[in-house]
């Protein structure tokens, strides 16, 4: 069982959004040493603004994550690669949100057994129903941070 959370904030010229997410995933790394595959749910709550429109974000999405930690026999440094997708269709989207889609791909450097410094690319597509028109936020984001595992 993996339980986690994160916060996202951006304020560029065109878009401004902020939300928190809570994750609950289950999975296994017993198929092959170093390989993990998790499935679960991810909840989002926040606010999204584009020029002339804004709306409240709320969604519970299905998620799949996979990654691989290269062994020291293959790589001299503890490098990991990971990827994931999250999709919240209309029935699981609420507030002003019609649907939510997110995909990630990244690299991590395992500094200790339960912590990694990572860099990733994330794509968001959020369809909103607020204001006079329906609108969509599409954004590409480069992220970096620290991932802790307990």
What pairs with residue 133 in β-bridges?
A: 130
Q: What is the DSSP string of 38-51?
A: EEEEEEEEEEEEET
Tens digits of residue pLDDT in 8-22: 888 877 788 899 999
pTM over 0.75, yes/no: yes
Structure tokens at 87: 């999709």
Residue 92 DSSP code: G
Tens digits of residue pLDDT in 87-141: 999 999 999 999 999 999 999 998 887 888 999 999 999 999 887 788 888 888 8
Tens digits of residue pLDDT in 38-95: 999 999 999 988 888 888 999 999 999 999 988 878 878 889 999 999 999 999 999 9
| Phi, psi (degrees; rounded to nearest 5) at 86 | -135, 135
Q: CA 25, CA 2: separation in Å to the nearest integer?
A: 5
Judge whether 121 and 106 are in contact, CB under 8 Å: yes
- CA 47 from chain centre, in angstroms, equals 16
Best CA proximity match to 119, nearest among 136, 133, 101, 106: 106
């Amino acid at each position: 069982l993996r339980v986690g959370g994160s916060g996202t904030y951006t304020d560029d010229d065109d878009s401004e959004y902020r939300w928190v997410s809570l994750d609950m995933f289950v999975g296994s790394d017993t198929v092959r040493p170093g390989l993990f595959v998790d499935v679960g749910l991810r909840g989002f709550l926040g606010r999204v603004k584009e020029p002339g429109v804004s709306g409240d974000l709320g969604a519970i999405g299905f998620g799949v994550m996979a990654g691989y930690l290269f062994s020291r026999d293959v790589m001299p440094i503890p490098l990991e690669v990971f990827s994931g997708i999250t999709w919240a269709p209309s029935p699981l989207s609420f507030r002003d949100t019609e649907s939510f889609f997110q995909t990630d791909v990244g690299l991590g450097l395992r500094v200790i057994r339960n912590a990694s410094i990572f860099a990733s690319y994330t794509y968001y597509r959020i369809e909103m129903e607020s204001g006079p028109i329906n609108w969509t936020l599409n954004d590409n984001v480069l992220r970096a941070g620290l991932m802790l595992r307990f």
